[in-house]
Every structure is written in C-alpha cells, then in structure tokens.
Amino acid sequence: MYIDPNNKDAIYEQIVFNIKKDILQGILSPEDKILSVREMSKKLGVNPNTVAKAYKELEYQNVIVTIKGRGSFVKRFEESDTEIDIQTQKKLKKELQSWLVEARYAKIPKDIIYEWIKEEEY
C-alpha cells in the first residue's frame, strides 16, 4: 500500500481506497485478517488515529468487521449486500460527471476515456 502525501485526498481516504482496491484485485479475500491499527500505522508511517478513522469508515461501508480482541477482517459478502446504496450511487455519479467534465475540458477524446475504463484493473 502506498500513501501519497501530495495527494489531495486525506490519508485516511487513501487507506480506505487502497484496502478496497486490494479486495477487488484479490490481494485480500473475505475473512482475511488485516493489519492492526498499530501495525498499519507503523507500516505506513502515519498516525494511529488516521488508520483508526480509515478502519471505522471501512466498517461503516460494510467492507470490514472488527471483532474485539481478535482484530479486523474483510467482511464476507452477503446476498443482502447486493442492493446498491442510493446515496452512494448518487455520490459516485456526481464524482464521475465532474471527472468527465475535467477530462473533456482537457480535450481528451471520448474513445480514449473509454479505453481507460476498459483497461482499468480493479
């Protein structure tokens, strides 16, 4: 996991993003234990409170589950989780629209944007 100090996103948001990306890429699987707050903090060289904030956000988003005394684990996908959260969908659509405006303003042709989407590894 790499944290970019020059990234406009907060460090805790970068941690959230990287853990989700690791799950999508199969680096982390359901029920895998993730590093403790202290271990992750030491590994990344960031404040433990920042890691704790990221883990709380991941719990809120139902990505991980924390079991007191045992640690934090990647949550197993449940059939009930298949419904798309409408608020999340609206937020992502707005972010995508903003990104597309910026890309088009930078004169990036639509066919190149489509290629980026097709080649993106999750």
pLDDT of residue 81: 55
Residues of the chain short of pLDDT 70, as ranges, are 78-85, 120-122
pLDDT of residue 119: 78
What b-and-e string marks burial along 61-83, b requiring 16 or more CB atoms within 10 Å of the CB? eebbeeeeeeebbbbeeeeeeee
pLDDT of residue 79: 47
pLDDT of residue 35: 95
pLDDT of residue 53: 97
Mean pLDDT score across all residues of the chain: 88
pLDDT of residue 2: 87
